[in-house]
Amino acid sequence: MNALLTDPTEFASLLQRFFAERLLQQKNASPRTIAAYRDTFRLLFGYAERERGTPPAKLALNDFDSTLALDFLTYLETERHNTVRSRNARLAAVRAFAHYVALQCPPALQLMQQILAIPMKRFEKPLLGFLSRDEVQALLAAPDTTTWCGLRDRMMLTLLYNSGARVSEMIGIRVADVTLATTSSVRLHGKGRKQRTVPLWKETAAEIRRWLAYADLRAEHPLVPTRKGLPMTRTNVAERLALAVSEATERCPQLQGRRISPHTLRHTTAMHLLQAGVDLTVIALWLGHESPVTTHGYVEADLAMKERALATIAPPGAKRQRYRPTDAVLKFLESL
């Protein structure tokens, strides 16, 4: 067997170069991508040490094989109860490293080919969940605006609904990203370093002005901070939303038992834009989708739109209704 495959220093060197050179220098990957890859290997190393008794410092290329990868993916789903989406994301990180190793270390090519052959797992895509306008109104009215946290939460939820921002985009907003003028807007830093600007309703702009005047934040500060002035985390946002949902349930009982996440508000924004007649391409730009095809799922989820479409078609064998112009139409035709 080739000595490179059993040498732990070779594996460690390749992994270091993968992060420092491949991801940072060559691909200029975003901090979020690097953090996701880092967490994947942290979990993988912990699993290998616990199940195989091999500490990270002693791992060699010969240990990094398809069997380890498959067992690790099974562990993620069965013991950590990760979703298939999360499992596929971890596999993407493992495969990216395997592809790099195949290029840099030819003796390990066969091992890496076996890892690269592991397929992404298919999964069911449930219909998108969203809130009605009454439910959104109850949710936005839930936070107690006489407190620091309540005032922040009211502004945060209003901005989430207005912008349709992802949680990562929301917690990344700085005060300088908000423009409060005749036409107010917020600049969002989306996936893949893509930026977009979303207009703000007057009500949203008023909530932001009220919050900024109360919190006395500077341009470089996060717009949605914690008590310590740090940007909120995904968990923080989810917890505050859950609290608001709990409070809103008292005045809006249909929220009881619903699983509402920050992404539900993003879906809600898209659905309400669609129901208002906004074109799919505009909604795709609003949400930061790369392709309008991604936005087609909202059409699938809107039963009311399907019912209206169905009403325009007569069922088989049914007698078609003859068009009868209204009195207003007749008067208009007579005036021509």
Residues with catalytic roles: 166, 191, 263, 266, 289, 298
The Cα-based distances of 150 to 15, 140, 142, 242, 299 in angstroms read 45, 11, 9, 13, 34
d(CA 155, CA 159): 6
Q: Choose among 169, 170, 160, 178: nearest CA to 217.
A: 178
Query: What DSSP letter does each residue of 156-194 carry, written as one string?
Result: HHHHHHHH---HHHHHT-BGGGEE-SSS-EEEEE-GGG-
Helix (H/G/I), strand (E/B), else coil: 225: strand
Are 33 and 22 contacting, i.e. CB atoms less than 8 angstroms apart? Answer: no
Amino acid, res. 90: R
Ramachandran area for residue 187 (φ above 0: left; ψ -120 to 50: alpha; else beta): beta
Q: Choose among 36, 92, 24, 45: nearest CA to 234.
A: 36
Are 156 and 237 contacting, i.e. CB atoms less than 8 angstroms apart? Answer: yes
Tokens 């500490």 belong to residue: 55
Which token pair is 303? 């039963």
Are 219 and 175 contacting, i.e. CB atoms less than 8 angstroms apart? Answer: yes
d(CA 16, CA 10): 10
In which element (H, E) is residue 195 found?
strand 195-199
Q: Choose among 15, 159, 30, 166: nearest CA to 94.
A: 15
d(CA 269, CA 164): 5
Cβ partners under 8 Å of residue 230, min gap 6: 222
Are 268 and 131 contacting, i.e. CB atoms less than 8 angstroms apart? Answer: yes
